Amino acid sequence: MSVNTAKVDARRKLDYKSFDELMADADRLSSGNVKTLGNWSMGQIFQHLANAFNGSIDGFPGGFPWFIRAMARIFKKKLIGGPMPAGTKMPGKLAKAVMPEPTSTEVGLANLHAAVSRLKQEPHRAAHPVFGEISKEEWDTIHLKHASLHMSFVTT
């Protein structure tokens, strides 16, 4: 039975300010006894973040409908600066590109480390599936908000 992630209580309160902070938390959690509160294992969470990070460099297939993109661009500053909501549904091709298969913690963590390394080394960023062309700094902010959301479902 699937968990409605928008209604999960007892999530950790997170707001990563750097990729180093994210990776320190991921490394710490991967070596301990943890519980996930949503629908994914810790390995799947790591893999999903790696998929999204790599997609910001390589590009994403598909995107959100035009009316969502238009509204999001109007409220871009507020949306990028605020917390990312749980339970957001993505359109088909985009969802398929970032959704993780069953993945071990070790494989997911290794892929997350590799993706963060790419983000730090590669200056190019593809268009965002909602906001279109945005800066590397805006992408980084979105990635850290996205990571804060998903990692909040991992508890000790």
Cβ atoms within 10 Å, residue 39: 14
Question: What phi and psi values does residue 141 have, to the nearest 5 degrees?
Answer: -60, -45
- The mean pLDDT of 73-86, rounded to a whole number, is 86
Q: Which helix (H) or strand (E) holds 141?
A: helix 136-151
Q: pLDDT digits over 17-57, tens only?
A: 999 999 999 999 999 899 999 999 999 999 999 999 999 99
pTM (2 decimals)? 0.93
Quick one: DSSP state of residue 128?
B
63 pLDDT band, cuts 50/70/90, is confident
- 132-to-32, 41, 75 alpha-carbon distances in Å: 39, 30, 13
User: Facing residues of 155 across strands?
Assistant: 35
pLDDT value, residue 30? 95
Cα 133 off chain centre by: 18
The two beta strands, 154-155 and 35-36, are antiparallel
pLDDT value, residue 1? 67
What residue ranges do the domains of the chain occupy? 62-156
User: Facing residues of 35 across strands?
Assistant: 155
